[in-house]
Amino acid sequence: MYCAAKLLAMAKDLPLMRLAEEAEESSLLSPDQMAHYLVTGIVTIATLLVTYFILKKVLFKPLIKVINQRKETIGNSISDAEAKNKQATEKLDEATKRLDASHEEAMQIIADARTQAEKQSETIIETARKEAQDIRDRAEEDAKRTKKAMMEEMKDEVADLAVSIAGHVMSNCDKGVDEASLRAKAVEELQSSEVKTGE
């Protein structure tokens, strides 16, 4: 309490406090009061200007610098994003072109494979036909050879048979058999031997 009273006593000695006391005593629009307002205004403006310059130096410049750096960083990020987006679009276009080219190439490969398969099929069929014709020709030649061999064999058998018949005939001739009966016997034996060879 004592301190507060002492502070009040000291405050009365200050010029501002004196001015405040005098202002209470004088009227609001007196020349003293107007001068007081003017001084207060000038001091306030000066204080504000000093505060502004201090804040500008200490706070605004670094803050503006940080804002500009942030703005530049954001601008660079946007530029990078646009460049990457452009690259991605180009790569997508390139990938799409490659995919289309691959699709066309695959279709061409399929068409070529189909054509080649058809050619191979025709070649295989032609080869099979030739082989079948060769087999048929060989079979016909074998049949002809077999037939010829059989004919040769038959000729040999017929010759043996004729010799045998002639031998019979000669032996019968010695016994005094007439020619008509010999012929009949020869025809009979030929027919019986043809029946045997036919079987």
Q: Are 26 and 35 within 8 A, CB to CB? A: no
Provide the phi-psi class of 26: left if phi over 0, else alpha when psi is between -120 and 50, else beta.
beta
CA distance 81 to 75: 10
Confidence band for 164, pLDDT divided at 50, 70 and 90: confident
**pLDDT average, residue stretch 143-165:** 75
Whose tokens are 């045998």? That residue is 164
Assigned token pair, 160: 């043996």
pLDDT of residue 46: 95
Which tokens in the block code for residue 16?
Answer: 């501002």
Going by pLDDT thresholds of 50, 70 and 90, the confidence category of residue 42 is: very high
Instruction: Give the integer Cα–Cα distance in Å for 36 and 25.
Output: 13
Mean local confidence (pLDDT), 146-165: 74
pLDDT for position 19: 53
Residue range 19-32: mean pLDDT, rounded:
62
Block residue for tokens 């804002």: 67
The per-residue pLDDT for range 45-103, each reduced to its tens digit, is: 999 999 988 988 888 888 888 889 999 999 999 999 999 999 999 999 998 988 888 88
pLDDT in the model for residue 18: 57
Instruction: Give percent above pLDDT 90 in the chain.
Output: 15
For residue 104, give both structure tokens.
Answer: 């066309």
Token pair belonging to 32: 């003293």
Nearest Cα to Cα of residue 172 among 157, 158, 154, 188? 188
Residue 108 and residue 115: Cα distance in Å, rounded? 10
Sequence-distant (6+) residues with CB within 8 A of 22 are 32
Domain spans, the chain: 31-143+145-198
Pairwise pLDDT comparison (188 vs 38), residue with the higher score: 38
pLDDT in tens, 106-120: 888 998 888 988 888
CB–CB of 21/12 below 8 Å?
Answer: yes
Rounded CA-CA distance 90/69 in Å is 31
Mean model confidence pLDDT for the chain: 78
Report the pLDDT value the prediction gives residue 117, as an integer from 0 to 100: 86
Query: Torsions phi, psi of 13, nearest 5?
Result: -75, -20
* ∠ CA 13-15-17, rounded to 5°: 75
The helix or strand, by DSSP H or E, that contains position 132, with its residue range, turns out to be: helix 61-175
d(CA 74, CA 51): 32
- pLDDT of the residue at 62: 83
